Chain A
Amino acid sequence: MTSLRLDGVAKTYEGFELGPLDLTVADEVLTVLGPSGCGKTTLLSIVAGLVRPDAGTVSLDGRVLDGRPPENRSVGLVFQDGALFPHLTARENVAYAATDRDRVADLAARLEIEDLLDRRPPALSGGERQRVALARTLAADPDALLLDEPLSSLDAPIRRRLRDELHGLFATLDVPVLYVTHDQRAATVLGDRIAVFREGAVEQVAPPDAVLARPETEFVARFTGCENVFEGTVVEGGVRVDGVTFPAESTRPPGTAVTACIRPSCVRLNAPDAALTGTVRRRLNEGDDYRLRVALDGGPDLVARVRPSGTLAPGDTVGVSIAAEDVHLL
């Protein structure tokens, strides 16, 4: 079974510390999600052999990679802007390290770049460049695939389309894939598991659903889009935050101090079972949905994400309902 293993990998720069990290990527896609500057790119550079770690071991399929130069690792790296060789055509780029000529044709068909093969990189769009870059890396038949925010510089529609295609492509690969991103959508769409990074350390590693529904730290909750994070106390059947009680399932004894996390999309407004009331403070149109800030009567402000069909406006009084299973306690 192919797998990429990091054991105690650490790297210190001036004012920055990565690790020590222990990670295992099996024949799966592990997305590394974190804010910029959290050490994601350094992590990839260490695995690719471009940066030497201060400590720890990287191994691939049982082979220890430490001390090997990048060219002897069989680790493919796709760069943020593609890093295509500007003096070569797309075809020459893909063929640069191709194991055989059929491989170039295969990958060109698979990544839909057949019509672009005679162009040089400056004549390609951002999305086209990333397709060529991906083909170039795959043509070398790497034993592990690393991607460094390959979609981050693309326009939204192209990013979405390529992201969906990557999802299909990764499913056909039988090598470990390490995909670095600061985009939560890319992380959840593409990752079999997500590793959330913060300041050079792993906060949580879990499948996307688990990371979103059951974040283990406040940082993970906030970084994955859970805007409602409250300090509260466990009470019978719920959690008390300021003057309101949210329903919650907890095995902890009443009186325990906890942090309650409620995703904005789990907050329902003006449903028949509304147990709480509040006043709309602000409404932001985010396209597919509205983000409303609701000041709960006797409680904290709560962010709700609702369909734009509603006519709620600032100043309106609303009923607020939250299901117990949507209140996650830390």
Chain B
Amino acid sequence: MSARHRLFTSRFDWLSATLVLGGLLLLYYLAPLASLFLAAPPGAVAASLTESTVVNAMTTSVLAATLSTLVGTVFGLPLAYWLARADTRWTGVVLAVVVLPLVLPPTVGGVVLLTVVGPNTFLGASAAAVGVPLTRSLAGVVIAQTFVASPFVVVTAKAAFEGVDRTLEHASRSLGKGRMTTLRNVTVPLAAPGILAGVTLAFARAMGEFGATMMLAYYPRTMPVQIWVSFVSLGLDAAYPIAIILVVVSALALIVLHTVASNPWQ
């Protein structure tokens, strides 16, 4: 056996074999992304960034995703804490309800929401009467995004809260600090990376929300809706610039998850 051959066999182990097979999958993920960037010349993307449809879609998306993430965080963190600390068998049921929007097809989520906030419902009609329509409005976008994105805050923050040793909370309280002070000084700081991960995931999910948003608020157009409109009316090329912006947003979310936040999938 030649030295070279030995070298080859010693390198070729099962771990390498798994990577080769998995590598095909990786290629399947990355090649279309690379192809997208090649298909859209940087100049064209840069130019389209100033088009009013693109600017409007970006504004709507960022504003709505920020609001829905905020709503999801304000209401999701208390629920996450309750799920992590409550000592009752109901936590399983509650968690199932929280996870429901994650497994529900987004368009079905939209249908479900329309039965409550649609223009012909009591809630929808009343809100519209006082000048806050819940469909075909920014509020509609936020309602749709919150439904599908907020579970990420709850589920991820719940795991983060559970990761905080209860003994530390007991220590704080036996040192004379109440529940709120303990939460602020001990629990939240220790759970912060996980909470941030949940917030990031929720924001990224909200930015990409399409199905439920289409049902509730075709206008004002968010970026995913605008991609669809551009594709249908003008062809694939017209959809590239916004798609690239959304890829960049996703990449930024990944960077946050891998740096300051604690990646829940790691």
**Residues of chain A whose beta carbon lies under 8 Å from any beta carbon of chain B:** 48-50, 69-77, 79, 83, 85-87, 96-97, 136-137, 140
In angstroms, how far is the closest chain A Cβ from the Cβ of B73? 21
Q: Is B59 an interface residue (CB 8 A)?
A: no
9 A-B pairs whose Cβ atoms sit less than 8 Å apart in the complex: A49-B173, A72-B176, A74-B176, A76-B174, A83-B168, A86-B190, A96-B177, A96-B185, A97-B175
16 extra interchain contacts, Cβ-Cβ under 8 A, other than A72-B176, A85-B185, A137-B175?
A: A48-B170, A50-B170, A70-B173, A71-B174, A76-B175, A77-B170, A77-B171, A77-B174, A83-B167, A83-B168, A83-B171, A86-B168, A86-B190, A97-B176, A136-B175, A140-B176
In angstroms, how far is the closest chain B Cβ from the Cβ of A110? 18
Contact call B186/A85, Cβ cutoff below 8 A:
yes
B160-203 contact mask (Cβ, 8 Å, vs A): 1 or 0? 00000101101111111111000001100110000000000000
Contacts of B190 in A (CB 8 A): 85-87
Complex Cα–Cα for A97 and B173 (A): 10
Contact A71 B177, CB 8 Å, known A83-B165, A87-B189: yes
Contacts of B186 in A (CB 8 A): 85
Contact A69 B176, CB 8 Å, known A83-B168, A83-B170: no
Contacts of A69 in B (CB 8 A): 173, 178-179
Contact call A48/B175, Cβ cutoff below 8 A:
no
Contact call B171/A79, Cβ cutoff below 8 A:
yes
In angstroms, how far is the closest chain A Cβ from the Cβ of B181? 8
In angstroms, how far is the closest chain A Cβ from the Cβ of B248? 33
Contact call B174/A48, Cβ cutoff below 8 A:
yes
Contacts of A70 in B (CB 8 A): 170, 173-174
Contact A96 B172, CB 8 Å, known A83-B165, A86-B190: yes
Contacts of B189 in A (CB 8 A): 87
Complex Cα–Cα for A33 and B111 (A): 64
Contact A85 B168, CB 8 Å, known A96-B175, A97-B175, A140-B175: yes
In angstroms, how far is the closest chain A Cβ from the Cβ of B195? 14
Complex Cα–Cα for A74 and B189 (A): 25
Nearest residue (CB) in A for B167 is: A83
Contact of A49 among B171, B174, B179 (CB under 8 A): B174
Contact of B174 among A50, A85, A86, A87 (CB under 8 A): A50
Complex Cα–Cα for A75 and B175 (A): 8
In angstroms, how far is the closest chain A Cβ from the Cβ of B190? 6
Q: Which 6 pairs across A and B sit closest by C-beta, in order of nearness?
A: A97-B175, A70-B173, A83-B171, A77-B174, A83-B167, A70-B174
Nearest residue (CB) in A for B181 is: A71
Contacts of B167 in A (CB 8 A): 79, 83
Complex Cα–Cα for A299 and B189 (A): 66
